[in-house]
Amino acid sequence: MRIKELRQHRLLTLAAISGSVVALDLLTKAWASRNLAGRTVEIIPVVLSFTYTENTGAAFSFFQDAGTFLSLAAMVALAVIAVSVWGPRPIGEVVGLALIAGGALGNLTDRLTRGDGVFDGPVIDWIQFPNFPVFNLADTSITFGVAALLWASWRSR
């Protein structure tokens, strides 16, 4: 493949994966807000529950009420990802970056659309394991994206 075709392939991969993550994340958050508000549903007793919560911070409830900072950090991360994918990258790295971008966009959408101000909306979280903070598909996507990047880095050595 020529460089232009490779770049287009990387950008299409980024768009397809991150777009799918955003769509699934927003659909599941809408479902959670309609069906879980005010209650917990045990899916696998003592292992997995669905619990609706709203988080104004980051993962593990760090940085509470820091929506503007977290939104700006997500936008910087998205810009870095876009620039990174523009250059030559192995497909494993592209997939990892796309998963991170999709997760960042999913949570950023909540911050932009669910608050009174520009970046102050809470993020909907709804998946819970025992002794672990409640999270969502966007958070899961970011975690798997980081794991994919680590795997790609390890394989390249």
- Which positions are catalytic? 125, 139
* Partner residues linked to 42 by β-bridges: 49
Q: Between the CA atoms of 111, 112, 114 and 119, what dihedral angle is there, to the nearest 10 degrees?
A: 60
- Three-state secondary structure call for residue 34: helix
72 in Cβ contact with 119 (< 8 Å): yes
Q: What is the DSSP letter of 122?
A: P
In 3-state terms, what secondary structure has residue 128?
strand
Instruction: For the chain, give the longest Cα–Cα distance.
Output: 54
Query: What value, to the nearest 5°, has the Cα angle with vertex 104 and ends 57 and 132?
Result: 50
